[in-house]
Chain A
Amino acid sequence: MTEPAERIVNLALFLAAARVPVSAERIRAEVPGYPKDQDETAFLRMFERDKERLRAAGLVIDSTPEGAYRLDTDRTFAAEVTLSPEAEASLRVASAALLADPAFPFGDDLRYALAKITSASEVPTAATAHLADERPSEQGAAVVSLSEAISARKLVSFDYINAAGQRAVRTAEPFGLFLREGRWYLVGRDTGRDETRVYAVSRMNAVDVDLSRPKTPDFEVPEGFDVSDFIGLPFQYGSKEPFEATLSFGPSVAWRTAALVGNVGVLQREDDRVLWRVSARSVRRLLRWVIANGPGIEIVAPPELAEELHAGLAEVADLHA
């Protein structure tokens, strides 16, 4: 009796060794594990499932107009890639941490990706990750479903509790996901409101994706969509009118600019400082950000913002005198 996994591996080896496309009938006759007394329909169902399993492992199986099958070796096999010791160590350490973190949603696939590009190692890795601090397992599981919905372009629905504590069932066309400061967020078009919204995954419950017809997309992603356009800094959220500010990073902090601002705003080097034009919605949070990330960050414009900062600092000094 051949085990099912043995049959599937034998099929992979058979297709990889075949020099010409082979018919399903020949596969049935020559690959161990396909029952000889099985009717045609049952065999074809089993064979289809086996091909899907091989595709899920990365093998690309084509069929000819005559109904024969072959392994597309160009698209199945990877080019040789040699990683530097630094790159390999980075991958191993980051992966070791992420694989043990329930908030990282792509663990299984990451494990197989690493198995394909690195060698089995006996070097222990010391790393941990806590990507999310609120319901990490639930966030990780929800992101798995949401990312499947994004890939297949399928609608998602979920119970959602907004920041005001109101609960409602939402349906959305999911476009992208981002992780920021311990929380996963979904960006998608709310079909009820007909507008693009950002949802905190930690506020979702009962995420439901209808994958019964995965090859039939429910929607198109807007052209030019980029999830990073939705990743802001704390002072950029809220319902107030946006305003523009210019900040300067002095020499002592200029080297950290990329880490501090991410992809937000426009940077411009000027002598030994870096100017940053950025839009904001909350004056209080912007001023808080300037102080918390200093020293070396100054407000260049608008002048009334700089005045408000100085007035606030004078208040702090008075309060602590």
Chain B
Amino acid sequence: MRERQKTSERARRMLALVAHLTRDRTIPLDSLATMLGASVAEVAADLELLSVCGTDPYDPLCLVPVYVENGAAHVWADLPALDRRVRLTAAEARALAAALQSAGYAADDALVVRLLSATSDVDPADLERTVRSATAPIAEIYSALALAIQNREAIRLRYQSSGRDQAVERVIEPLALLNERGTWYVEAYCRRACALRTFRADRIQQADPIGETFPARTFTPAGAALPIDGLPVARVRLASGEEVPEREWPGVRAIFADETGTLVEVPYAGTEWIARQVTSYLGRAEVLEPPEVRSAVAALAAGEA
């Protein structure tokens, strides 16, 4: 049974490779391997095997015209058949729609409709009725960031931080996109702060390339959307009956509990964020320290009232 499954997987991989073998192309094996989630050795073996596949009468002119040399696949003629891209299966279309959905593209987005109608028999609206990711509609921002990361282009953002009532402009050098529990963040070098910063994509009002590429920098991106190492910590008392909000407050730690409530330590990146979080408990959470967060909560509550 396992042998049959391996055969099916290999045949599917070889058929996927065929579509990329267009005349006079040289394709690095590692890019084919990455594309197919296989090792370079597997892809090289697949290409060797493809080179003996073909059509009747199976002479050299009727075989798949590929050879492997110096870490690359070389295509020296036209394919004997199957020289067009094959449509997506229903499962592949579903996977593609799910990936686009996760990047903030709605089922009725022009790209999703055009892509799926050209490549499959699947109606994206039908797919969306059965599998759905609750992602903010950020397709335009997402695509601008993705292209800027790929091309190392600086971007001018209008960004509204948590707790702020106005968006602020800043120029960033975007380094990576990070998805945490369905929410996308961009990790970037912020020229305004002269430091690495993480920006939540659904708080970016506008993202425009400024026509400037940026050099490689020596810092290492954190690679995590919500890094908590090194952040200041607030001590907060939650009233009895309130659960410790582990998912909403990343890195929160309960340090003491009795019948009156639970004392927790909460790492926070911005005073506005922690003040707003505590205020939202409407009296069922109290900041004990530091004083500046306590004051921020008092000011926020007075201002909102």
Contacts and interface: CB of A to CB of B under 8 A. Distances in A.
Contacts, number: 366
A133 interface: yes
A92 interface: yes
B130 A127 contact: no
Given A13-B55, A93-B150, A259-B137, A292 B280 contact: yes
Contacts of A255: 205
Interface string B95-125: 1101110110100000100110011110000
B95 A113 contact: yes
Interface string B273-301: 00011111111001100000011011011
B223 A128 contact: yes
B280 A287 contact: yes
A178 B132 contact: yes
Interface string A267-284: 000000000000000001
Contact of A288 (B32, B103, B182, B281): B281
A178 B133 contact: yes
Nearest to A227: B132
B247 interface: yes
B128 A228 contact: yes
A241 B108 CA distance: 34
A120 B20 CA distance: 8
A288 B282 contact: yes
Nearest to B304: A313
Interface in B70-111: 80-82, 84-96, 98-100, 102-103, 105, 111
Contacts of B84: 77-78
Contact of B58 (A32, A80, A111, A151): A32
Given A128-B176, A228-B128, A294 B35 contact: no
A321 B130 contact: no
B16 interface: yes
Interface in A8-36: 8-10, 12-14, 16-17, 30, 32
A123 B82 contact: no
Contacts of B53: 6, 9-10, 13
Contacts of B115: 81, 83, 87, 117
Contacts of B202: 256, 259
A38 interface: no
Interface in A171-190: 175-182
Contacts of A309: 282
B54 interface: yes
A112 B100 CA distance: 15
Contact of B282 (A79, A147, A291): A291
A254 B103 CA distance: 22
B298 A181 contact: no
B100 A94 contact: yes
Interface stretch (A56-64, A191-199, A203-211, A212-220): A56-64
Contact of B149 (A12, A59, A126, A177): A126
Contacts of B294: 320
A87 B60 CA distance: 39
A162 interface: no
B27 A120 contact: yes
B217 interface: no
> Top 5 nearest A-B pairs by Cβ distance?
A312-B282, A182-B181, A315-B283, A106-B95, A259-B136
Given A16-B81, A89-B150, A291-B276, 19 more contacts: A9-B50, A53-B12, A57-B11, A78-B86, A90-B103, A90-B105, A110-B99, A120-B31, A122-B28, A125-B150, A150-B131, A178-B133, A253-B160, A287-B282, A291-B282, A291-B304, A295-B164, A319-B283, A320-B294
Interface of B: 4, 7-8, 10-12, 14-16, 18-20, 27-28, 30-32, 34-37, 46, 49-50, 52-56, 58, 64, 80-82, 84-96, 98-100, 102-103, 105, 111, 114-115, 118-121, 128-134, 136-139, 142-144, 146-147, 149-150, 160, 163-166, 175-182, 202-203, 205, 221, 223, 225, 247, 276-283, 286-287, 294-295, 297-298, 300-302, 304-305
